[in-house]
Amino acid sequence: MKVRIGIGSLPLASGPGPGPELAELIDELETRDIDSLWLADTASAPTIDPVVGMAFAAGRTRNLKLGTGVLVLPGRNPALVAAQLASLAALAPRRILPAFGVRSATPADRGLYPVPDGARAALFDEALTVVRRLLSEPRVTHHGRFFHLDDASVAPLPSRPLDLWLGGRAPAGLRRIGRLADGWLGSVVTPAEAGDARAEIERAAEEAGREIEQDHYGTNIAVVPPGAADSDVDAALARVTRRRSDIDPALLVPRGWDETREQVRRFVEVGLTKFVIRPAVPIASWRGFLDQFSAELGGLEAELSS
């Protein structure tokens, strides 16, 4: 299995924000031959919309893979989402990595994706089915609880269906991945929890008569680089605590590159192979962060791949 390590954005003051900062990040990733860029779906933060950012990056690069980390699907029209992804796949063949979530992790954004009360999970399941069918079938007729399509299509249809990954860690969400998706991109989980999540997904896939590819399991890792201000570290740990009050945030946010390498190794030991490294604190520049990333993690992909 091939271990791959990409870079992700967080809604911090460091961005990647509008204009030159995102362009600098994209160009640096392409020049350094880093695997992928993952853009967060945080409409209320001063960051670039992930679909717009992916299109911008596709036009500046030839090798960089481009992912969403993660795109909220309930509340969006799945036919329009499929059309956007089809266009991106035409601009950057074999480089588009869509990952979806049930709802925004940012409370301020949750009202932007209205769904009927109590129907979010059911709507998500149906929307994901619509997206998959439109990206893999030339004509689609679908009449469900939430969406109705008659002889619908998106063009250009991808030459090969896109893999659709999901985020989340709740048991119901993990079972959904086994039933409906192609991979898992976790977040704020320990290696032990990730191993349990993979096992749950595999059980659900087997029950549904499906199989998830062995290297389609990954997670985000927020990293505190050396030299971060104590106040920034405290703020980062507080953000994690708001999402995971049940666990010591220090177990989820490695400090320094030595801890990051060990965290990646522990995840690989339980079956994960795809990683999105994000700065947990504001950084002075992406170039400086990537200098450290390349020096400290640059050889880890080859070392851990089998």
Residue type, 200: E
For residue 196, pLDDT beyond 60: yes
Model confidence pLDDT, tens digit, residues 78-120:
999 999 999 999 999 999 999 999 999 888 899 999 999 999 9
Sorting pLDDT into bands at 50, 70 and 90, what band is 13?
A: very low
Q: pLDDT tens, 215-241?
A: 999 999 999 999 999 999 999 999 999
To the nearest 10°, report the CA torsion of 284, 290, 293, 295: -110
CB 229 within 8 Å of CB 286:
no
Query: Helices marked H in the chain — which ranges?
Result: 20-31, 50-60, 78-91, 120-136, 171-180, 191-207, 230-243, 256-269, 286-297, 300-304
Q: What is the pLDDT of residue 84?
A: 98
Residue 69 confidence (pLDDT): 87
Give the span between the Cα atoms of 23 and 26, in whole angstroms: 5
Contact 43, 50 (CB under 8 A): no
| Count of beta carbons in the 10 Å neighbourhood of residue 57 | 26
Q: What letters, b where the CB count within 10 A reaches 16 and e where it falls short, cover 69-88?
A: bbbbbbbbebbebbbbbbbb
Q: Is the pLDDT of residue 10 over 80?
A: no
